[in-house]
Structure 1
Amino acid sequence: MSHEQYQSVIQSLHDCMEACNHCFDSCLQEEDVNMMAECIRLDRECADICAYLEQSLVRNSPFSAELANVCAQICEACGNECQKHNHDHCQTCAEACFACAEACKSIA
């Protein structure tokens, strides 16, 4: 399949990567950074896998389905962690992560 057929997934991946990067940066500004450590770690994992899968889809990697499966798992983990925190950036990130996980499952 060409990357054009994955446009909605690619957009979800990009949106999730941006949300995770924003959440990561915002979490570092919170008063109790130690309490945000797991959120920060998962934001980084999620942003990185989303960026990598986005690139993989654009170049039509033969491993896209496998990467999408892993990406969905990481997005769900990040979304679940972000959902625990009442900060707007965490809630926005959780929404993006869950949407991305669903998009990834559609091609996994």
Structure 2
Amino acid sequence: MSHEQYEACIKACHECMVACNHCYAACLKEPHLEMMKECIRLDRECADLCEFAAASMSQGADYAKQLCVLCAEACEACGNECSKHEAEHCRRCAEACFACAEACRMMAA
């Protein structure tokens, strides 16, 4: 596949990475940090996988589809965790995660 064919998924991965990085940083400032521990962990993991998946797609890597399957799983897990919290940054992150998971699944199909 060409870079253009991956474009929507690359965009979703980038938007999710940005949302996860913002959520991660904002969670560290929450008053009940212990409650946000899993959210913070998943934000970091999801952001890293989104970045790697986007880079792989932009390079036309042989394993881009498999990476997108993994990315979708990470996005789903992060979105589910963020959905448990009431903070606006978590809500926005969950939305970006679910959108990215869908884009990655469509691309990998």
Give TM class, smaller chain.
Answer: over 0.9
Percent identical pairs in the alignment equals 56
Cα displacement (A) at 1:12: 0.3
Unaligned runs of 5+ in 2: none
Within 5 Å, give how 1:54-69 maps onto structure 2.
54-69=54-69
Query: What is the CA RMSD across the aligned residues, in angstroms?
Result: 0.5
Cα distance in 2 for partners of 1:106, 1:84 equals: 26
TM score, norm. by length of structure 1: 0.99
Q: Deviations over 1:34-93 (max 9, x none)?
A: 110000000000000000000000100000111010000000000000000000000000
Give deviations 1:18-47, integer Å, cap 9, x for gaps.
Answer: 000000000000001111000000000000
CA distance in 1, matches of 2:13, 2:70: 13
Q: Give the number of aligned pairs.
A: 108
How far did 1:6 drift? 1.0
Task: Please state if 1:12 is matched with 2:24.
Answer: no
**TM-score, with structure 2 as normaliser:** 0.98
Quote how far apart the aligned CAs of 1:17 are. Answer: 0.1
**Secondary structure class of the residue paired with 1:107:** helix
In the aligned structure 2, how far is the partner of 1:53 from the partner of 1:67?
6
Question: Which 5+ residue runs of structure 1 have no aligned equivalent?
Answer: none
